[in-house]
A = this chain, B = another copy of it.
C-alpha cells in the first residue's frame, strides 16, 4: 500500500481512511495503519497524538470527499426529483458500505464527541441539502404540496444507509439496488 512520492503524514491518513472503512475504528490498530503506510511507530506518533487524532484526520478527509461526490451527483439533475434520484441511483459498491456511515455503528466513535463530529456533520449537511432541493420542488409546483421536505430527505439518506446494511447481511449487492428502486418509485409518485 506504500505510495511513492507522498509525505508520510499523507500516507498515514490514507491508510487510516482505508482501514477505517474496512474494519471500523475498534477493528483498526495503529500498527496496521503504520504497516500499510510503510511508516514506523515513531513517524505516526510524531505526526499525530495517537489513534483518535489520526482517526479524526482520516474521517474528516473521507467526509469531505463524500460531500464533494454527493454535491457533484446532485448537481447533475435538473428538477428536484432528478436530483434526489441522481443521489439514490449513483453507482455504489454496496458490499463495502459507506465509509462515513459505518463509523456511526462503532461504539468508541459514538462515545466520543471528537470522533463523532465528522459523521454528524456529514449527515447534517447531506439531509439539509436534499431537503432544500425537495423544498424547492414543492415551491415550484413540481412536487405535491403536502410533501414534507425534511422527512423525505431523511428517508432518502436512510434508504441508502440501510441498503448497505442489507447488502452486507446478504453478501450481495442486490438488496441495496432493490431498496433504491423502491424509494425511487415511491418518490416518482410524489410529482404534483
B-contacting residues of A (Cβ < 8 Å)? Answer: 22-24, 26-27, 97, 101-108, 110, 116, 119-120, 122-124, 127, 144, 147-148, 150-163, 165-166, 168-171, 175, 178-183, 185-187, 189-190
Contacts of A180 in B (CB 8 A): 155
**A171 smallest CB distance to B (angstroms):** 7
Majority SS at the chain A contact face: helix
State A127–B168 Cα separation when bound (angstroms). Answer: 15
State A183–B110 Cα separation when bound (angstroms). Answer: 26
Closest B-chain residue to A146, C-beta based? B185
23 A–B contacts, CB within 8 A, in A order:
A24-B106, A101-B169, A103-B169, A110-B171, A119-B169, A120-B171, A122-B169, A124-B170, A144-B189, A148-B181, A148-B182, A152-B185, A154-B166, A154-B182, A155-B179, A155-B180, A155-B181, A155-B183, A158-B182, A159-B162, A161-B165, A162-B162, A186-B187
* Most chain B CB inside 10 Å of its own CB: which residue of A22, A27, A158: A158
Find out whether the CB atom of A123 lies under 8 angstroms from the CB atom of B158. no
Copies of this chain, whole number: 2
**With A119-B169, A169-B101, A169-B120 as contacts: A107 and B23 at CB distance below 8 Å:** yes
State A153–B160 Cα separation when bound (angstroms). Answer: 14
State A190–B187 Cα separation when bound (angstroms). Answer: 11
Find out whether the CB atom of B162 lies under 8 angstroms from the CB atom of A158. yes
Contacts of A169 in B (CB 8 A): 101, 103-104, 116, 119-120, 122-123
Contacts of A150 in B (CB 8 A): 178
Find out whether the CB atom of B105 lies under 8 angstroms from the CB atom of A165. yes
Find out whether the CB atom of B104 lies under 8 angstroms from the CB atom of A185. no
> Which of B105, B157, B178 lies in contact with A24, CB distance below 8 A?
B105
**With A151-B185, A159-B159, A187-B186 as contacts: A165 and B108 at CB distance below 8 Å:** no
